[in-house]
Amino acid sequence: MGARSLLFVLIAAVVSTCAVRADDAGESVHCSLNDAPAVACRMTDTVDANGAHSMEFVAGTQRIRFSGRSQTGWWSGQLDGQPAMGRELNRGHTVYSTVDLKTTFEWWSEGNEHGSY
């Protein structure tokens, strides 16, 4: 196998590995939008150098985004671009609401639906 063929095989392997990782990114959690029954979803949470979180929850084709900050169990930021607040019921269960109260969103990790600190 020539050097060029070997390079092609290596590039294909790296691209394939990255694609698998991108599909598997995130944590499996449960989500509920506007008090609907919970569904399984994937959560990703990126924290920048200033401590601001960018969270995305994906259930099928639906995406919910929260960006903001937490302080002692309370959150402030934006839920899908609208001003929002939230509170942690426990470390793995958080409820958010837009300030106008038109949208609520709740997520929890396995075993934390009714957990405590």
Q: pLDDT tens across 32-59, in order?
A: 999 999 999 999 999 999 999 999 999 9
Q: What is the pLDDT of residue 25?
A: 76
The percentage of the chain sitting over the pLDDT mark of 70, rounded to a whole number, equals 77
State how many domains the chain has: 1
- Compute CA distances 64 → 12, 13, 20, 34, 89, whole Å: 32, 32, 22, 12, 19
Can you tell me the mean pLDDT for 60-70?
96
- The Cα 62–Cα 80 span in angstroms is 12
The answer to the question of residue 48 being in a domain is: yes
Angle at 12 between CA 7 and CA 18, to 5 degrees: 125
Q: Please count the other Cβ atoms lying within 10 Å of the Cβ belonging to residue 96.
A: 23
The answer to the question of residue 98 being in a domain is: yes
The answer to the question of residue 53 being in a domain is: yes
Range of the domain at 45: 26-109
Q: Which helix (H) or strand (E) holds 14?
A: helix 3-24
- How much is the pTM? 0.76
Could you tell me the pLDDT band of residue 116, with boundaries at 50, 70 and 90?
low
Q: What is the pLDDT of residue 1?
A: 53
The answer to the question of residue 94 being in a domain is: yes
